[in-house]
Each structure stands twice: as C-alpha cells, then as structure tokens.
Chain A
Amino acid sequence: NAGVMQNPRHLVRRRGQEARLRCSPMKGHSHVYWYRQLPEEGLKFMVYLQKENIIDESGMPKERFSAEFPKEGPSILRIQQVVRGDSAAYFCASSPSGGTVGQFFGPGTRLTVL
C-alpha cells in the first residue's frame, strides 16, 4: 500500500516562473492537506481539499497561490510568479476522512527559487 506521493521531490525555479507541486494521496483517501515549512520555521497549514472542493484555504497567501484536487489525478499546488520568499518545503498529507483521524504525510517537495 503506497503512502502519500509527492513530486517532484526537489524543484528549482527562477523568479517569475510558475511552480506546480503534485500530491497523490494514499489509496482510499479523499482528503488532502497542504502545509508549508519555511526555513527555520515550523510547519504552517495552507489548504484543505476534498475531491473537487476546497474546504478551507485560510492559510493560503491571497495572491499567486492556488490549489486543486480534481476528480481524477493528484492534488496540485500551484504558485505563479514565484519569488525568493516562496523557497520552502511543501508537504502534503492525506486522510480517509476529515477531523481527528490521523493524517499521513508525504515526503515533501523542496522548492528553491533562484
């Protein structure tokens, strides 16, 4: 039973480019969460999605960031016109249902903006 998959594991972008981070949840999981870990800081909640729905995006920056979880395929976190401050590790987690059921984390994508 494969765990949560994220790709790419490492992504390098120049300022102004777009970054697309993908997350495939564990089999049978329909709830996905994205977290960001800035250097020297703790993880921060960004967004919670169920299939085709954004449930809570209160942690997402208002501009340039968007997320989706289509009916088919992985969840995508998209960052447009990246800036150096976007350099961070982005983790995805999934769960079979929402709430207090445990979340299973992926290996993360480390984004470096040059």
Chain B
Amino acid sequence: KNEVEQSPQNLTAQEGEFITINCSYSVGISALHWLQQHPGGGIVSLFMLSSGKKKHGRLIATINIQEKHSSLHITASHPRDSAVYICAVGATGGSNYKLTFGKGTLLTVNP
C-alpha cells in the first residue's frame, strides 16, 4: 500500500465548479506539499504546509495532522487548471528532505 493515497484518480469538472482533491498519508510527516504538473511539462510547487490552511488566489490547501489528511480546493475552476495535482509528504527527522509522492489526480476542466 502506498504511503500517500490520493483521490480521486481522475476528475472532470465544468468551468466554474468547486474542486476538491484529497490526500491521505500513513506516516508521520514534517510537511506536506501540493504540486501541479501540466501534460508533458514540468512541476510547479503550489503549497507546502505543516498545519492549518493556506490560500493562494483560487487555490486553498488544508491539512489535518491528527487525521493524516489534506485537501486541495480550487474555486471557480477554469480550463487552464487542467493538470495533474500531486500530493507529496516529507519524512520526519533527519530525512525530512525526502519526499514521498502520491500517484496524482488528473483534473480536466471543460469550458
């Protein structure tokens, strides 16, 4: 079983819809990252968080350390948000640089 599980694997939405992508992990972590990967493209770091909530534009990330769960929300979704969203967790202790990744959620936003 993967240490980092994302759901759903695939998500199709209409422009303007509110999107939620979930991430659950099974180990203690130092921080959780949300990343965005466009098809054939590079990876952009969206958020790094270890508690609470962060907001950047239409993107909101939350984390519940006790429940080992994080969500990424996109408000007023747009076709340009179509991408793979990846959750990654940093190990604890001296290896906190070492990221373990989920398999990603493929989001398609239709106009």
A complexed with B: yes
Give residues in A with beta carbon < 8 Å to B.
31, 33, 35, 41-45, 48, 56, 58, 91, 95, 98-100, 102-108
Write the chain B residue with the least CB distance to A41: B103
Q: Is the CB of A45 within 8 A of B43?
A: no
Task: Kindly state whether residue B95 has any CB partner on chain A within 8 Å.
Answer: yes
Contact with A along B83-104 (1 / 0, CB 8 A): 0001010100001111111111
Q: Is the CB of B45 within 8 A of A100?
A: no
Q: Are A44 and B101 CB-contacts (below 8 A) given A100-B48, A108-B43?
A: yes
Collect the chain A residues with CB atoms within 8 Å of residue B95's CB: 56
Q: Is the CB of A43 within 8 A of B97?
A: no
Of the candidates A42, A100, A104, the one whose C-beta lies within 8 Å of that of B90 is A100
Of the candidates B41, B50, B98, the one whose C-beta lies within 8 Å of that of A45 is B98
The 7 closest A-B CB pairs, nearest first, are A107-B42, A105-B43, A43-B101, A42-B101, A42-B103, A102-B48, A100-B31
Q: Are A105 and B45 CB-contacts (below 8 A) given A42-B86, A56-B95, A100-B30?
A: yes
Task: Kindly state whether residue B27 has any CB partner on chain A within 8 Å.
Answer: no
Give residues in B with beta carbon < 8 Å to A.
2, 4, 30-31, 33, 35, 41-45, 48, 50, 86, 88, 90, 95-104
Q: Is the CB of B103 within 8 A of A45?
A: no
Q: Are A48 and B98 CB-contacts (below 8 A) given A100-B31, A105-B35, A107-B41?
A: yes
Of the candidates A41, A56, A105, the one whose C-beta lies within 8 Å of that of B98 is A56
Q: Is the CB of A102 within 8 A of B33?
A: yes
Of the candidates A44, A99, A104, the one whose C-beta lies within 8 Å of that of B96 is A99
Q: How far is the CB of A55 from chain B (nearest CB, A)?
A: 8
Collect the chain B residues with CB atoms within 8 Å of residue A108's CB: 41-43
Q: Is the CB of B88 within 8 A of A48?
A: no
Collect the chain B residues with CB atoms within 8 Å of residue A42's CB: 2, 4, 86, 101-104
Q: How far is the CB of A65 from chain B (nearest CB, A)?
A: 17
| Given A102-B45, A108-B43, 13 new contacts (CB under 8 A) | A33-B99, A35-B99, A42-B103, A43-B88, A44-B101, A45-B99, A48-B97, A95-B97, A103-B33, A105-B45, A106-B42, A107-B42, A108-B42
